[in-house]
Amino acid sequence: MSETYTASITAPVNIATLKYWGKRDTNLNLPTNSSISVTLDQSDLKTTTSAMTCSSFTKDRLWLNGEEDLQLSESKRLTQVLANLRLKRKEKEAKDASLTKISDWFIHIVSINNFPTAAGLASSAAGFAALVACVAKLLQLDDDMTELSKIARQGSGSACRSLFGGFVAWEMGEHSDGTDSKAVEVAPLEHWPQMKACILVACADKKDVSSTSGMQLTVKTSDLFQKRITEVVPERFEQMKKSILDKDFELFAELTMKDSNSFHATCLDSYPPIFYMNDTSKKVVRLVHKINAFYGKTIVAYTFDAGPNAVLYYLEENEDKLMTFIYAMFKNLNGWENKYNGDELNKFI
């Protein structure tokens, strides 16, 4: 029987609090601004990926959510990512003659998301992060996560941030070859374990405008965009990192909401305009501002990616205060009437 190697890994979704939107190099996925995200707990939304390599395999194959992707060889991003990982293995084999030359073998990959794919829930981020981490493990590479993040970035920009848990920055870098465009940890999850995220799925359908094409339309046509990347985001990047290190929730929340609004404003300022938020999303925005006004301080922040679904960030101590309102707004959750004063809430919303 042929010799085989296997590896398995899970990668969680990350939700940006300072958004990546725009590329300065579409080949290498080099962004026009740095970004920050929070990687959700492994037990929530995640991709699980397993890989196997064997000298008798005759081609690379990939199964996504149970179905084989027959276009694998035509996917530039996938082939580029696999080629980069194999190159690293080749370099290792060149230095150590005792290693089996598995860099020449084909790989079979099976990947499963436990949440809707391409619905603006960062499926490509978790997907490419899991693929890179899994194949790196399969090929027994010694590179650290920051080094691997440069490869994951080429699969999907936001994927580079999913290689780390907790609070993560993707530094845009300056070089044209992408060697300094990488993900780094701002703080591990344990630094601020009270931080919680709640996802309100307004619609799980596939989005109309993919992030990749949407952001390039914005780069080409939006006037607001220039101000965003040259002035707004660079300042926010430093402020947000500090708010995380200082565990300053009110500042973190304000920056998060403002950045979501700024990103969606540039989408609307694109021509023709791109709409990712829907009426339910707007209701959530209004509700969050009302909740914060009601309590006299910012206890919750919203952020929206390239889709209508809201991600709310809050501290664990405020979960009950927040959920009181969420349950009242989306009355289809069992038992809310018994637990909370529905009349008062209805007046409020």
**Is residue 306 a contact residue for ligand 2P0 (CB under 6 A)?**
yes
Half-sphere exposure (CA, 13 Å, Cβ side) for 139? 29
- Decide whether 35 or 103 has the Cβ nearer to ligand 2P0: 35
Residue with tokens 């936001």: 158
Please say whether the beta carbons of 28 and 177 come within 8 A: yes
Considering only 158, 181, 222, 318, the residue that binds ligand 2P0 (CB under 6 A) is 158
Considering only 10, 29, 39, 53, the residue that binds ligand 2P0 (CB under 6 A) is 29
**Is residue 302 a contact residue for ligand 2P0 (CB under 6 A)?**
no
In angstroms, give the least distance from the CB of 26 to ligand 2P0.
8
Triad 225, 228, 229: Cα angle to 5°: 90
90-98, 117-125, 218-226, 230-238 -> range binding ligand 2P0 (CB under 6 A): 117-125
Please say whether the beta carbons of 53 and 138 come within 8 A: yes
Considering only 305, 312, 325, 329, the residue that binds ligand 2P0 (CB under 6 A) is 305
- Decide whether 16 or 141 has the Cβ nearer to ligand 2P0: 16
81-89, 120-128, 187-195, 289-297 -> range binding ligand 2P0 (CB under 6 A): 120-128
**Is residue 16 a contact residue for ligand 2P0 (CB under 6 A)?**
yes
Number of chain positions touching ligand 2P0 (CB under 6 A): 16
**Is residue 308 a contact residue for ligand 2P0 (CB under 6 A)?**
no
Q: What 3-state class would DSSP assign to 164?
A: coil
**Is residue 212 a contact residue for ligand 2P0 (CB under 6 A)?**
yes
Please say whether the beta carbons of 28 and 154 come within 8 A: yes
**Is residue 186 a contact residue for ligand 2P0 (CB under 6 A)?**
no
**Cα(257)–Cα(242) distance, integer angstroms:** 16
Bridge partners (DSSP) of residue 64 are 67, 111
DSSP of 68-115: E-TTGGG-HHHHHHHHHHHHHHHHHHHH-TTS--GGGSEEEEEEEESS
Is the omega angle on the peptide bond into residue 234 within 30 degrees of 0, that is, cis? Answer: no
Q: CA 309: distance to chain centroid?
A: 13
**Is residue 261 a contact residue for ligand 2P0 (CB under 6 A)?**
no
In angstroms, give the least distance from the CB of 180 to ligand 2P0.
17
- Decide whether 49 or 158 has the Cβ nearer to ligand 2P0: 158
**Is residue 20 a contact residue for ligand 2P0 (CB under 6 A)?**
yes
**Cα(53)–Cα(312) distance, integer angstroms:** 40
The residues binding ligand 2P0 (CB under 6 A) are 16, 19-21, 29, 35, 122, 124-125, 156-158, 211-212, 305-306
